Structure formats: structure tokens, C-alpha cells
Copies of this chain bind each other. A is one copy, B any other.
Amino acid sequence: MDKDLILLGHGSGGTLSHQLLDDLIVPTLSGIPPAEQNDAAVLVMEGRRLAFTTDAYVVDPVFFPGGNIGSLAVNGTVNDLAMMGARPLFLSAALIVEEGFSREELAGILRTMREAADRAHVRIVTGDTKVVPRGKADRIFITTSGVGILEHDLEIAGNGARPGDKVIVSGTIGDHGIAVLAAREGLELETAIRSDCAPLNGLVTEMLQEGEAIHVLRDPTRGGVATTLKEIARQSQVGITLREEALPFDPAVQGVCAILGLDPLYVANEGKLLAVVAPERAEGILARMREHPLGSSAAIIGEVTGEAAGRVELETVVGGRRGVEMLAGEQLPRIC
């Protein structure tokens, strides 16, 4: 491992990504301290709070069951805004296309983007298209950025978890990553696994009716549920205990993970959120979430503790406990 070169793992969302971000990228570009890094920046303009975010999408393959790079790019950015409690309003789309890419496939991706935007009630208002020579990019990369507005005074951020809070996940874990992996590797599955790629802003709007009981919202994309909870534990300086028996999984996803030796807690989701909420309101929030189509399998999966700041532990089904770390290398490259 050459420490002078950028490695695949630097894009994993896990430990290496955090090192690159914390040691180089964030201090150089912005100076925002790690505890204040969230899925989107909150900007104050003329007394109003706006959220602003960006993500580059390089998923391979470009088309997969349940979506394509276009729906991923729209929903991913919508979700990053929603995780700040913002109402997503406007998106930009910048395409980098490899010379020789099929115009018909491009048209299909663009149509999916429009459909995803319409579904999420956002508008794609500006864009850019670059074409690079054959072999200089892999088919198509899409970067979306988004602007939303915070219509409340709540402070929802990664450093908001408090001892005693409950941890909720909005549905089954690991569907997106395994759907993309299966499509890429041409796995023959008895039950097709579809990406969960979806816009979470509608679900968040329902949840925000519970107001200040919502302390943290995060979508566990790259690095999965484990890495995202580890980030929250560090930012909030709390411990988090997960109960394995409470984790919701699609049995087909669990089966593929077992066969391939993958831990689904590290597999990316693209239509799920983690919420850290006040304990006395947790059941009410859960009930609200379950009424929404994207929250029907929501579950309380753990608690925040005041011990061992930054530590995430899993209580296994058989009663053991093990520490959960961030994704170390790169489990599944180019998953988003």
C-alpha cells in the first residue's frame, strides 16, 4: 500500500475515506471540523437557512435492478438534503460521458432522472455535459448538486445524539449494494434483488411532525449502517448499542451476503435512513414511519449510551457483544 497514491479504499466511505477527508481534503478546502460535517452544508442567506449538497455518481453497472445511475444521482442528492431536515427544491446535473456511449441509453438515464425528480417534487434547473475520448471515463459519470430550504428551527445533525436516544432504521438493510453487485457479477438469483433507491424527503416530512424529538438523520450509503453509526457515535461523542435480532433484512440479501462473506452492515443503502430520536417519542415516530410506504419495515435497532464515546457495539442474537468498526478497505467498489 503506497501512502503517496490514491487507493480505491479512499472512495469507500470507510476509514481510508475519512482519513483522506480529515487529513487533506476538508482542511484544505473548507476547514470545517469533522464533528460538524454532515450530508449537506447549512447556509444562512438573508436570515433563511438553506441546505446545499453535492455527490458524484460512478456506479458500475450503469443500469441495475431497481434503478440506474440517473435515479441514483437524483435520489442521492434529494436524500442528502432531506437528512438535514431540509425541503429539497432545486437540483443541478453535470454529466461526464465517454465518447461512443449510446444515445439511447443516455436518453433512458435522463428520462429516469426526470421521473425521479418529479417523484421527489424537485426541479433540475441547470446542468453541464462534457464528453471525454474513449477509454478516458467509464461510460457515464453524473454529479448532482441540490439546494433545499429549512422550514423550521430544528438542529438536525450528526452531533445531536444523546444518551438514552433510540436508533431507528427505516427498512431492510443492504439492498442497494447487493443489487448492484449481483448485476455487475451476473449472479443468478432465485429472487431478484432490487435496489432500494428512492427519495426519502416525503418520509422525513412525516417524521418532522415530531419536531425536536428528531436528533440525527443520516442515509447509510457508502460504508453502510455500521460506518454511518460509527460516524454519529464519534460526532456526538456517545456510544451506540445495536441489537442484531432487531435488524431488518431481506432474506435474499442476507443469503447473498452469507454466500459471499459480506457483512450487510457495511453494504450501501440508497433509500433508507437512520434516525436517532428522543426515547419517549420513539414509538410514536416509528408508528408514523410505518404508515409511509418507504418506512413500512422501520424498526428500532438500538440505543445511544453515555459510555465509551465513539464506540458502536453489536449485541448478537446469541447474547455476545462485539465492537463495530468503520469499513476498513473497500468491500464493494463503485456501488454509487
Contacts and interface: CB of A to CB of B under 8 A. Distances in A.
A103 B54 contact: no
Categorize the interface residue count of chain A.
35 or more
A46 B127 CA distance: 23
A39 to B, nearest CB: 9
A228 to B, nearest CB: 15
Interface of A: 3-12, 17, 20-21, 24-26, 28-30, 32, 40-41, 43, 45-46, 48, 50, 52-58, 60, 89-90, 92-104, 106-107, 110-111, 113-114, 117, 123-133, 135-138, 141, 143, 145, 147, 149, 333-334
Nearest to A143: B143
Copies in the complex: 2
Contacts of A50: 45, 147
A131 B7 contact: yes
B56 A25 contact: no
B5 A111 contact: no
17 contacts: A5-B103, A10-B131, A11-B97, A20-B129, A29-B114, A43-B89, A52-B125, A52-B147, A54-B93, A56-B96, A60-B136, A96-B96, A132-B334, A133-B334, A136-B138, A143-B143, A147-B147
Nearest to A105: B6
Nearest 4 interchain pairs by C-beta = A11-B131, A145-B145, A54-B92, A143-B143
Contacts of A56: 94-96, 128-130, 143
Contact of A5 (B53, B102, B125): B102
A137 B143 CA distance: 14
B111 A54 contact: no
Contacts of A89: 43, 45
B11 A129 contact: yes
A52 B10 contact: no
Contact of A41 (B48, B57, B125): B125
Given A11-B129, A135-B135, A52 B103 contact: no
